[in-house]
Amino acid sequence: MNRTTTNGPTAHRPMTGDQMTGGPITGGPSGTDRNGTDPSPMGPTATGAHATRPAATRPAAARGGLHVRTVHLARKQHTVVDSPYGPLTVVATDGVLSGLYMTGQRHRPAEESFGERVAACEEPFPEVARQLTAYFAGELTSFDLPLRLEGTDFQRRVWDQLVRIPYGETWSYGKLAAELGRPTASRAVGLANGKNPVGIIVPCHRVIGASGAMTGYGGGVERKVRLLAFEAGARQL
C-alpha cells in the first residue's frame, strides 16, 4: 500500500497548502484599524501577538501593521526513467515522490514546475525506479512508497481510494463514488481521477465506465487498455 506523508514517510495524510508553506502572509495584528493603527489607547488586546510589548519598542514592521510570516519554499527535483509506455517524468517535492507523468499526458504541469532535473541515482528516485521496474516485469503488484499528493481535500480522498483498488481489478466511477460515501458524485470523482498527479503508482487507470467502457485516461486510452491487459495477464501467471 502506498503511504502519504506530511512530515515524514510514515505519516498517512498528504500535505496541504499551509502545512507546506508555513502559512499565508496575513494582515496586521488583531486590534488594528484599516490603516494598521491601534484605535484603542490601551494598545492590542491581551491575546494579540504584541500584547506585552509597548508600541514604541515593537519592530518597525509590526508598528506599520504588516505581520510577515516566514514562507518555506518546497524544493522540487525530477528525473526521467524509461518504461514500456514511454519516458516517465518522476517528480519529488522535498525528497518525497509527488508526481509521475507520461509524455503527452493531459493535465501534465509545465516543465518548469518540476524543478531541477537530476540523475536517477539521487534520492528518492532509485527506489521509485526499482519498484517501477519490478512492476513492469510482473513481479510487483503493490507499491510501497511515501507519497506527497497535492490537491483539494476531495481530490486527495479520491486518490486515497484509488490505491485500494486491487491489482488486476477495475472499479467503475460509481463504485468509487460509493466507496467515498458520495454515490451521486460520479462526475466529480471522474474529474479528480483525471487529475491524479502520480500515474501508475496511484492506479487511476483501474477506473472504468459503468458499462465497462474504457473512458478517458490522462495518459491516453491506448495506454489505459495496455496497462489493464498487462495487469490482468500478469495476475493469471
Q: What is the pLDDT of residues 77-87, one digit of tens each?
A: 999 999 999 99
Q: How far is CA 158 from the centre of its chain?
A: 11
**Helical packing angle, 153-162 and 186-194, nearest 10°:** 80
pLDDT band at 29 (very low <50, low <70, confident <90, very high): very low
Strands 116-117 and 171-172, sheet pairing? unpaired
| pLDDT (average), residues 209-230 | 89
Instruction: Report whether pLDDT(7) > 70.
Output: no
Give dist(CA 186, CA 172) in Å, integer: 9
Instruction: Report whether pLDDT(30) > 60.
Output: no
The model's pTM is 0.69
Alpha helices in 122-205 (DSSP H): 125-136, 153-162, 173-179, 186-194
Contact between residue 67 and residue 27 where contact means Cβ atoms under 8 Å apart: yes
The more confident residue out of 73 and 135 is 135
| pLDDT (average), residues 47-62 | 44
Which of 228, 223, 188 shows the shortest CA–CA distance to 207? Answer: 228
Q: Please say if 204 is a catalytic residue.
A: yes
Strands 76-81 and 88-93, sheet pairing? antiparallel
Strands 88-93 and 96-102, sheet pairing? antiparallel
Give dist(CA 104, CA 143) in Å, integer: 24
Task: For cell 484603542, name the residue.
Answer: 40
pLDDT band at 217 (very low <50, low <70, confident <90, very high): confident
Give dist(CA 24, CA 33) in Å, integer: 20
User: Can you give the C-alpha Rg of the chain in angstroms?
Assistant: 23
pLDDT band at 18 (very low <50, low <70, confident <90, very high): very low
In this prediction, residue 2 carries a pLDDT of 56
Which of 149, 201, 202, 204 is an active site residue? 204
